[in-house]
Amino acid sequence: MAEEMFCPKCGTKVKADEVFCPNCGAKLNPTAEATASNEENEEKVTASAESNQTMQRSVPAQPKKPLNKPLLISLVAVLVVLVGGYLGLKDYYQPQKQLDRIISALGDSDKNLAKYVKTDDPTLQNKLTKKNLKPTQKYFESNRQDLAELKSSLQQGSAYNDTYSIEQSGNAWLFFPRYKLNVKAAYVTLSSNHTGVAFYQDGKKIWTTKSGNYSKKVGPLFPGKYTFKSVGKISGRKLTNTSTNTLTSGAQDVSLRLRIATFTIKGSQGADVYLNGKKAGKLNSDGKLKFKDYPISNDLKAYIAIQVSGQTVKSNSVDIKDKLAYGEHSISPAFQGVVSKSDAEELLESAFSGAESGTEDSTTADLFVGQEDNSSYNDLLKFYNSFKTNDNIEDYNAEVSKVNSVTPTGKNKATVSYSVKYTFNNSGDAGDSTKVQQFTYPNAEIVKQNGDYKIKTIGVTKSADWEKNYSDDN
C-alpha cells in the first residue's frame, strides 16, 4: 500500500507521485525531482560524451585534401610525349640519317628531291622544283657507283666533282641542325652549223638558230642527265642530231652540227643490225651492211644480234661518231667475251706452230681447255707425228693464213672458221718437190676462261681448198 503524504506547507493530503500541492501549490517530493533531474543530467552527459566520441572518430584534427588523379595522369602523359618527341626528333635529325635520306632521294626519281636541296645561285634557287631535279636523279639512278662515291665524299666532308656538297641550312624544331645538299649550277652552250636549226632540251623546243648566230647558252640548270637535239634541213633533207650529256657544274659546250657520213657494219652473215635500238637491216652473205650518207648524231650507237639455239645474242654497243672521228668507216661490233679475229688468229697460230714438233709440249697444251687431256691437242700432235714418220717428207710448215669468221655462240664462246696453209718439202725417186695445200676448218671452238682465250676444239676439215706442186727441177 502506498505511503500517505501531506503537504509540508498547508498539511493537505497529497499523492506520493505529485510534485506540487493541489491546495497551496507548494513544491512536493524533492527526491523525485532530484532523481528526475539527475536522470536528465545523466542523459545529457551520456549524449554529450557519445557526441564527442563520434566527432573524434569522424573528423580528424588536421584533414588532408585528396589528390587530383586525372590531372596528375595528364601531366605525366604530357611529359612522356615531350620527352619521347624530343628523343625521336633527335634520332630523326642525326646527320648520318639526314645524309641517308638525301642519297636515297638522289637515286630514286619517284621521290621529291627538292626538299633536300639548296643552291647558292639565286636564279637556280627559283627553279628548285621536283620536276627540275629529275635530270639529277635520272643520272644517279642509272649510275649507282657514282652515287656511292658521292655519298663517301659527303661523309668525309668533301665536295663531289666540285658540284655537290653537304651544308647546314638552319635548324629543325629550333634545336636540331638541318642539312641539305648544296648544288652548283650548270650551263651549256649549244651550237650548230646552219640557219633555221631548232634546238630541243628533253623534247622541249628552246631556240632556233639565226643568220650569223648558230649558238645558244642555256642555264642555269641543275647538274644531271639531259638530252639535247637539233633539227633542220640541208638541201631539202631533214636532218637531226641528238646528244645525251651529263652536265656538271660550270660551263660546257655541246655541238649539234648536222652532218652525214658513209660507213659499213660488219659481222656474222645474217646478223641483225641495230642503230640506236632500232633494227636497220641484216648483214649480207659477206657479213656486211653499208649505210650511205647517213645522218650522224652525237649519240648514234650500233650493235648486231644473232640467233643462237633459239636465243638472241647481242654484241657490245659501238659509238659510230667516235669510230668515224678516228677514220674508221668499217665497223665490227664485238660480242662480250668473244674472241676477235686477230686474237683468234694469234691463238690458233701459236697452237699449230707449238705442236709442229710432233712431241708433247706443256706450253702449247696450256692453250687448250683441259690442257694435255684435250682431244684436239692430242689429235694435232698425232697429225704432226704422221709427217715426221713419213720418209718422203723432208720438212713441213703450217701457217694459219686467215680467220674467215667468228660467230658468237653465247657469252664468252664462239665458233671460228679459219684456214691453214701447209707447205711440204718432199724427196723421192722422182726428185725433190714442194707441195702447198690450204685447208679450211669451219667449226673450231674458242672460249674465254679466267680472262684468257682457250681452244676447245680445232675443228674438222674435209678436203683441201686448193693445192699447188712445185718441182725443184723447174
Q: DSSP for 117-145? A: EE-S-HHHHTT--TTTTHHHHHHHHH-HH
Element (H, E) at 442: strand 433-449
Q: 226 and 104 in one domain?
A: no
DSSP 8-state code for residue 276: T
Number of domains in the chain: 5
**How many angstroms separate the CA atoms of 218 and 373, rounded?**
66
CB atoms under 10 Å from CB of 131, counted, come to 8
Q: 150 and 131 in one domain?
A: yes
Please report whether residue 272 resides in a domain: yes
C-alpha cell at 374: 684435250
Supply the pLDDT for residue 84: 76
Supply the pLDDT for residue 470: 83
Name the burial class of residue 277, with classes exposed (0-12), middle (13-18) and buried (19+) by CB atoms within 10 angstroms of its CB: exposed
**Is 435 in contact with 444 (CB distance < 8 Å)?**
no
Helix/strand/coil for 364: helix
Please report whether residue 321 resides in a domain: yes
Question: For residue 102, what are the CA distances in angstroms to 175, 178, 213, 356?
Answer: 20, 12, 41, 65
**How many angstroms separate the CA atoms of 138 and 299, rounded?**
17
Q: 456 and 376 in one domain?
A: yes
**Is 434 in contact with 405 (CB distance < 8 Å)?**
no
Whole-angstrom distance between the N-terminal and C-terminal Cα of the chain? 199
- At residue 199, what are phi and psi to the nearest 5 degrees? -100, 140
Q: 364 and 467 in one domain?
A: yes
Supply the pLDDT for residue 1: 44
Q: 322 and 214 in one domain?
A: no
Q: 323 and 350 in one domain?
A: no
Please report whether residue 59 resides in a domain: no
Supply the pLDDT for residue 56: 52
Please report whether residue 349 resides in a domain: yes
- Given 125, 160, 183, the domain boundary residue is 183
Q: 302 and 215 in one domain?
A: no
Supply the pLDDT for residue 108: 95
**How many angstroms separate the CA atoms of 370 and 389, rounded?**
27
- At residue 410, what are phi and psi to the nearest 5 degrees? 145, -175
Q: Domain range for residue 190?
A: 186-255
Supply the pLDDT for residue 384: 87
CB atoms under 10 Å from CB of 460, counted, come to 11
Element (H, E) at 86: helix 69-92
Compute CA 257 distance to the chain's CA centroid, rounded to the nearest angstrom. 34
Q: 177 and 101 in one domain?
A: yes
Q: 351 and 306 in one domain?
A: no
C-alpha cell at 18: 505529485
Q: 458 and 361 in one domain?
A: yes
Please report whether residue 380 resides in a domain: yes
Supply the pLDDT for residue 140: 96
Name the burial class of residue 389, with classes exposed (0-12), middle (13-18) and buried (19+) by CB atoms within 10 angstroms of its CB: exposed
pLDDT (tens place) for every residue of the chain, 474 residues total: 455 677 777 777 777 777 777 777 676 655 544 444 555 555 554 555 555 555 555 555 566 667 677 877 888 888 888 777 777 778 888 889 999 999 999 999 999 999 999 999 999 999 999 999 999 999 999 999 999 999 999 999 999 999 999 999 888 888 889 999 999 999 999 999 999 999 999 999 999 999 889 999 999 999 999 999 999 988 788 999 999 999 999 999 999 999 999 999 998 889 999 999 999 999 999 999 999 989 999 999 999 999 887 888 899 999 999 999 999 999 999 888 899 889 999 999 999 988 876 555 578 999 999 999 999 999 999 888 888 888 788 888 899 999 998 888 888 999 999 999 999 988 876 678 889 999 999 999 999 999 999 999 999 998 999 999 887 665
Q: 436 and 371 in one domain?
A: yes
Helix/strand/coil for 59: coil
Name the burial class of residue 29, with classes exposed (0-12), middle (13-18) and buried (19+) by CB atoms within 10 angstroms of its CB: middle
Supply the pLDDT for residue 39: 53
CATH of the domain at 251: 2.60.40.10
Reference 157, options 99, 244, 214, 82; nearest CA is 99
Per DSSP bridges, beta strands 433-449 and 464-471 are antiparallel
Please report whether residue 73 resides in a domain: no
CATH of the domain at 288: 2.60.40
Q: 164 and 208 in one domain?
A: no
- Cis peptide, bond prior to residue 70, ω within 30 of zero: no
Reference 353, options 327, 379, 384; nearest CA is 384
Supply the pLDDT for residue 48: 55
Please report whether residue 55 resides in a domain: no
**Is 219 in contact with 197 (CB distance < 8 Å)?**
no
Q: In the Cβ-directed half-sphere of 213, how many Cα atoms lie within 13 Å? A: 8
Residue corresponding to grid cell 663517301: 152
Residue corresponding to grid cell 649505210: 291
DSSP 8-state code for residue 65: P
Element (H, E) at 421: strand 413-426
Dmax of the chain from CA atoms? 209
- Given 161, 183, 205, the domain boundary residue is 183
- At residue 306, what are phi and psi to the nearest 5 degrees? -130, 160
- Given 221, 239, 255, the domain boundary residue is 255
Please report whether residue 49 resides in a domain: no
